[in-house]
Amino acid sequence: MNEDLSLSSSLADLTVLEIGDQIGDYAGLLLAGLGAEVIKLEPPGGSPSRRIGPFASSAPDPERSLFFWRYNLNKKSAIVDVDRLEAQAAIEKLASQADIVLLAGEFEAVERRAETWRKLAEANPRLIVCSITPFGLDGPYRALKATDLVQMALGGIMAVCGYDPQPDGTYDTPPIAPAMWHSYHLAGEYAAVAMMAAINFRELTGQGQFIDLSVHEAVNTCTEVAIPTYVYSGMVVKRQTARHAAPNITHARLSTSADGVFMLANLSPFEREQRALAQLADQVGIGHVLGTPEFAQLEKEDRVAAAVYRNDLLVEVVGSLPANEIFHRAQAQGLAWSPIRRPEDNLDDPHFQARGSFAAIEHPELGRTLRYPGTVAIDGRTPHFSYQRRAPRLGEHTEEVMRRAGLDDARIAALRAKAAV
């Protein structure tokens, strides 16, 4: 069977122009992973995201930003200063050929550009313009300044992440914004959802439209029970170490393996899981009373003491073996335990190798390949999101894009002289 039902080229008929800063890179990456042609229109000095580290060089270098590399796979880069009048003819032509324009960044810049692109959309009514700004294009906060950290704070994720309070209930540690770049991840995923909805709408009606996405709202959607809990009960969830925020402080959950790795290991009250723990304890030769009439009696008389006993046993079991061994043994017993891995611990994991979860991307400037994450789903054999090309060098595709915009060599040279392309 050699049919390819993967979605990796399902957007191959779409051209996306991406304009702006790091807020929008990930949204474009998602469309590029499904086959869309994504062209970054960068100012002569390069996109702001080229200045974000870490770098594959000892000093910051816009061609060696790992942030830029990671979030701009498969894309093309053309130097076009979209804010310069001289570039307008080229932009009009590009707009007439494009399906989606992504405008990302701070409010002032995006609002100004949105004005231009709304006009361009009059000539191409099929054009979808998607703006991504920290707070959306209207409302009292629209012009506030934000960073990933500030978005995670205002959006509510920080308040539910962090460490346990002290025994008296007060916190001596700050709320934590989980690293890294999750406000932009959320915005990018929702922008992709909205753009896919707009594309489907266009198939039905022939009409494009304007999308106004707020990073603030995207972060707000993603705090799980925090809002429903408050709305229905008036209770406010409290942050606690490496487990769900809840109105009460729940059992501490971290344990440590024999090789010093933190484990996510916990037991649900189900009988099945208690038997699984007993099996594990037996395997590693730790004596216990689980499953005995004595323990059944304790459970009846003192549930808290029984829970403490179980938890102590769990901690002892986890501490008896290296993390990976505990992981496989626990999973064999049907326990959803996992070591708290560093991301790179997965690079050579046989599971991800078997699934082809990493894309090996050639980096001629390094003389090597780098493995990028990107596959989030496969069709059984091949990835749905697929990445083959490293991020573009600044202006790598300017000529190609300008020719498509109908410019000949002389006009390209003239614009270059004015530093507009």
Partner 1 sequence: MDGERKAPRPLDGVRVIDLTWLQVGPQATRLLTTFGAQVIRVEWRDRKAIDFIRYTPPFAPDHARADGGRIQGVTRGHGIAGNYDRGAYFNNTNPGKYGITLNLNHPKGRDLLKRMVRDANAICENFSPGQMDKWGLGYEDLRKINPRIIYLQTTGMGKAGVYKDYVSYGPTAQAFSGLTFLSGLPEPQPPAGWGYSYLDHSPGYFGAIMLMAAIRRQRSSGIGCYIDMSQCETGLMLSGTSLLEHQITGKPTTRYGNRMPFLDWAPHGAYRCFGDDNWIAISIQSDEQWRSLVEEMGSPQWAMDSRFATAAGRKSHEDELDEKLASFTIGCDRYDLMRRLQVRGIPAGVVQKAPDRFDRDPQLKARGYYVDLPHSEIGTWPVEGFPARLSRSPADVGGPTGRAAPKLGEDNNFVYRELVGLGEAEIAELTREGVI
Report the site for partner 1 in 48-67 (rule: CB under 8 A).
51-54, 56, 66-67
Dihedral angle computed from the Cα positions of residues 40, 46, 47 and 53, in that order, rounded to the nearest 10 degrees = 130
List the x/- string, 318-357, binding to partner 1 by CB under 8 A. -------------x--xxxxxxxxxxxxxx--xxx-xx-x
In the complex, what is the shortest distance from the CB of residue 335 to partner 1, in angstroms, rounded to a whole number?
7
Contact status: 232 vs partner 1 (CB under 8 A): yes
Q: How far apart are CA 338 and CA 344, in angstroms?
A: 15
Between CA 400 and CA 403, with CA 401 as vertex, the angle to 5 degrees is: 70
Task: Tell me the H-state helices in 64-181.
Answer: 66-71, 88-97, 107-123, 148-154
Contact status: 218 vs partner 1 (CB under 8 A): yes
Q: How far apart are CA 303 and CA 305, in angstroms?
A: 5
Residue 121 vs 405, nearer CB to partner 1 = 121
The residues pairing with 101 across neighbouring beta strands, listed in sequence order, are 17, 129
Among 115, 122, 140, 285, binds partner 1 (CB under 8 A): 140
Among 41, 90, 95, 245, binds partner 1 (CB under 8 A): 245
Contact status: 155 vs partner 1 (CB under 8 A): yes
Among 23, 24, 32, 70, binds partner 1 (CB under 8 A): 70
Here the tokens at position 217 are 């709202």
In the complex, what is the shortest distance from the CB of residue 140 to partner 1, in angstroms, rounded to a whole number?
5
CA end-to-end span of the chain: 47
Q: Which residue, 402, 257, 380, is CA-closest to 319?
A: 257
List the x/- string, 267-306, binding to partner 1 by CB under 8 A. ----------------------------------------
Residue 140 vs 364, nearer CB to partner 1 = 140
Q: Is the peptide bond before 180 cis (omega within 30 degrees of 0)?
A: yes
Among 2, 59, 145, 168, binds partner 1 (CB under 8 A): 145
In the complex, what is the shortest distance from the CB of residue 377 to partner 1, in angstroms, rounded to a whole number?
4
Among 80, 98, 159, 278, binds partner 1 (CB under 8 A): 159
Here the tokens at position 201 are 């709408």
Q: Which residue, 223, 215, 239, is CA-closest to 151?
A: 215
Q: How far apart are CA 417 and CA 161, in angstroms?
A: 51
Residue 239 vs 310, nearer CB to partner 1 = 239
Contact status: 216 vs partner 1 (CB under 8 A): yes
Among 89, 109, 242, 267, binds partner 1 (CB under 8 A): 242
Contact status: 110 vs partner 1 (CB under 8 A): no
**φ and ψ of 77, to 5 deg:** -130, 130
209-246 b/e (C-beta count within 10 Å ≥ 16 → b): bbbbbbbbebbbebbeebeebeeeeeeebbbbeebebb
Q: How far apart are CA 282 and CA 277, in angstroms?
A: 9
Among 217, 282, 299, 325, binds partner 1 (CB under 8 A): 217
Helix (H) or strand (E) holding 219: helix 215-220
For partner 1, which stretch binds (CB under 8 A), given 137-145, 283-291, 314-322, 393-401? 137-145
In the complex, what is the shortest distance from the CB of residue 146 to partner 1, in angstroms, rounded to a whole number?
5
Contact status: 241 vs partner 1 (CB under 8 A): yes
Q: Which of residues 370-399 bind partner 1 (CB under 8 A)?
A: 370-381, 384
| 138 contact partners, CB below 8 Å, separation of at least 6 | 212
Residue 216 vs 405, nearer CB to partner 1 = 216
Contact status: 160 vs partner 1 (CB under 8 A): yes
Here the tokens at position 42 are 């960068």
Given CA atoms 157, 163, 169, 172 in this order, what sign does their dihedral have? Answer: negative
Dihedral angle computed from the Cα positions of residues 418, 91, 74 and 49, in that order, rounded to the nearest 10 degrees = 60
In the complex, what is the shortest distance from the CB of residue 287 to partner 1, in angstroms, rounded to a whole number?
27
Contact status: 224 vs partner 1 (CB under 8 A): yes
In the complex, what is the shortest distance from the CB of residue 404 to partner 1, in angstroms, rounded to a whole number?
24
Kindly calculate the radius of gyration of the chain based on its CA atoms and give it in whole angstroms.
26
Q: Which of residues 352-371 bind partner 1 (CB under 8 A)?
A: 352, 354-355, 357-358, 370-371
The residue whose two tokens read 């054999």 is: 381
List the x/- string, 185-204, binding to partner 1 by CB under 8 A. xxx-xxxxxx-xxxxxx-xx
Contact status: 111 vs partner 1 (CB under 8 A): no
Q: How many residues bind partner 1 (CB under 8 A)?
A: 149
